[in-house]
Chain A
Amino acid sequence: MSADLMFDLTVFVLSLLVGFEVISKVPATLHTPLMSGANSIHGIVLVGAMLIASTARGPAGYVLAFVAMAFATANVVGGYVVTDRMLGMFRARTPQPRKDGES
């Protein structure tokens, strides 16, 4: 096994553990925004898609790069926008003014 692979594997395992730790604290109320937010994070493949586009030569390479770019950008843009839209709906109290509130 190469040193690079060992290093990448270390990063992978530690990130998984950090993920478990952080995400287990998210309340069930927010599980849908959590999932769509996590969805936007895996839109990071966009970085990889950009690298494909930079090395693409010939029609097949360009088609591959185009599809990868379109998929990844849809993932990033759509994911963040819809998560923001959802989270904007979570309010501590109803918009219309009420007497002294519980919160």
Chain B
Amino acid sequence: MSGFDTATHLVYLAAAAGFVLGLHLMNSPATARRGNQLSATAMAAAVLVTGAVLIHDNSITATGVVVLIAGAAVGGAVGLYAARGVAMTAMPQLVSLFNAVGGGAAALLAVNDLSSGPSVSASVAVTAALDILIGTVTFTGSLVAAGKLQGWIPSQPLVFPGARALTGVLAAGFVASGCALVATPTHRLPLILLLVAGLGFGVTMVLPIGGADMPVVISLLNAFTGTAVAMAGFVLANAVLIIAGALVGASGTILTKLMADAMNRSIPSIIVGGFGTGDTAPVSGTGNAHVREVSADDVAIQLAYASKVMFVPGYGLAAAQAQHQLAELAALLEQRGIEVGYAIHPVAGRMPGHMNVLLAEANVPYPQLQEMDEANPEFARTDVALVVGANDVTNPVARRPGNPISGMPILDVDQARAVVVIKRSMGHGYAGIDNELYTDPKTGMLFADARKGITDLTAAVKTLVA
């Protein structure tokens, strides 16, 4: 190994170590930003040393240089524009798009390797086939997921006649063309068939999945992208790609598992079809008979004289763009010496941890953002729990067997001394069942849009304490 090769390998090794340490620093909000910067520095080092390798090898053509720079300029500009401008509510779409381009690029690496080399070894052919398959499924799957999240594609499960059969045919197609590609890696036909089958399968896999399951789907596609990148590392015999890909694969897998557990759904059942298509027979309702409606002024009195208030935000809060109003109300209560906390369910939002980012953007200090395990013991000593835009994750029936959300981990909101729910109507959540919390005698329902309801509350508290 020449001195240059040694230096190159050492830089790649340092980059890989930088990725691991960067992820390690993500274990606390205080160090996370430094972790991301370390990871970015490691990436810059890996890219620069690759540039040095290209110059050193001197095999790149002049056109190649132009293509490289033009591609980087276009991609960099688009990436920068998207990252700077994206609204925090649109983060899931952006992450999906980054999954798509990452998976797509990984697939292209293998396509290039197979179509340029005169001969390909069996082990490379296998990893290349896997890379192309996973990469193409991620590419179209993530684009469909992003489209659903953005509302360009209806978010309810889309099942057209013959969809299942088509998915089956495509699955058989990619197994067959994958095997053919491994047998004859330099032939074009199996490569093209594999591309088509993978791209088609990505679409038919994500279309039937409902909007409520998106946090799981994004996590799963994230794991796929990581795996595709690791496979590209096998094809190119580049360890840093393998390491980075494996790290992302691990991250995506952990998040997928956490999200599926938090929604009480198995990953296969999510892939097979949307929520509400299963055995979700409506639970015999207690009706609206015992619902106690309250006014903003009543709630203001409860809040102003409480010693501890817990907010329970759900996606409805983000949909109404009311995070800032909620943070304002919290600040007002804090000024009165009231202890304030936010109880955040793992699936509050459209992707893992989404609600935390939305609240952080509204200047909520992160020590107040409490995870489910941390928040649940707090409810017993909470005077008022204010539920905004969260439904199924607060439903006590989850503790009993025999209904669609049995066994789902929930926030123990019903343990609080008093509960106030801001909601537009008695409508159902994704699970399509009545929420017993709403009919609990200690619960008051404030029927309003999340944003208007909180603004009214803030105004009422202000008048009260003035």
Contacts and interface: CB of A to CB of B under 8 A. Distances in A.
Contacts of A62: 63-64, 67
Interface stretch (B104-112, B150-158, B423-431, B453-461): B104-112
B246 A12 contact: yes
Interface in B80-139: 80, 82-84, 86, 88, 91, 94-95, 98-99, 101-102, 104-106, 108-109, 111-112, 115-116, 121, 123
A47 B47 contact: yes
B102 A50 contact: no
A92 B274 CA distance: 39
A52 B115 CA distance: 12
Interface string B226-249: 100110111011111111111111
B interface bracket (residues with beta carbon within 8 Å of A): 35 or more
Contacts of B243: 11, 15
Interface stretch (B25-33, B193-201, B382-390, B396-404): B25-33
Given A30-B356, A54-B57, A62-B67, A19 B363 contact: no
Contacts of A64: 108, 111-112
B75 A69 contact: yes
B222 A38 contact: yes
Contacts of A50: 47, 50-51, 54, 68
A50 B121 CA distance: 22
Given A30-B29, A92-B366, A41 B72 contact: no
Contact of A28 (B75, B102, B222, B352): B352
B245 A42 contact: yes
B234 A8 contact: yes
A69 B71 contact: yes
Contacts of B246: 11-13, 15-16, 18-19
Nearest to A98: B334
Interface centre among B24, B76, B105, B111 (most CB of A within 10 A): B105
B307 to A, nearest CB: 14
Interface of A is mostly: helix
B421 interface: no
A86 B219 CA distance: 18
Interface string A63-103: 01111111111111111111111111111111100100011
B171 interface: no
Contacts of B36: 33, 37, 40, 80, 83-84, 87
A32 B356 contact: yes
Contacts of A20: 250, 253-254
Nearest to A21: B250
B103 to A, nearest CB: 8
A26 B354 contact: no
A64 B111 CA distance: 9
Interface stretch (B15-23, B279-287, B292-300, B436-444): B15-23
Contact of B251 (A4, A19, A92, A103): A19
A10 B237 CA distance: 13
A90 B353 CA distance: 13
B94 A68 contact: no
A44 B26 contact: no
**Chain A, interface residues (CB within 8 Å), range:** 35 or more
Interface in A1-53: 1-2, 4-5, 8, 11-13, 15-20, 22-53
Interface stretch (B38-46, B202-210, B312-320): B38-46
A78 B82 contact: yes
A95 B59 CA distance: 54
A66 B76 CA distance: 12
A42 B231 CA distance: 12
B26 A15 contact: no
Nearest to B40: A80
Contacts of A36: 91, 94-95, 98
Contact of B61 (A5, A28, A56): A56
A65 B79 CA distance: 18
B366 to A, nearest CB: 5
A88 B29 CA distance: 10
Contact of A86 (B47, B57, B244, B357): B357
Given A53-B64, A78-B94, A28 B71 contact: no
B255 interface: yes
A31 B255 contact: yes
A78 B353 CA distance: 19
Contacts of A82: 82-83, 86, 91, 94
Contacts of A39: 95, 98-99, 102, 222, 225, 248
Given A47-B46, A64-B108, 7 more contacts: A24-B254, A34-B26, A38-B222, A38-B226, A42-B229, A75-B105, A86-B91
19 contacts: A5-B123, A12-B230, A15-B250, A16-B250, A27-B371, A28-B352, A30-B32, A31-B351, A32-B95, A35-B95, A37-B36, A39-B98, A45-B109, A46-B43, A67-B108, A68-B108, A72-B101, A78-B79, A103-B367
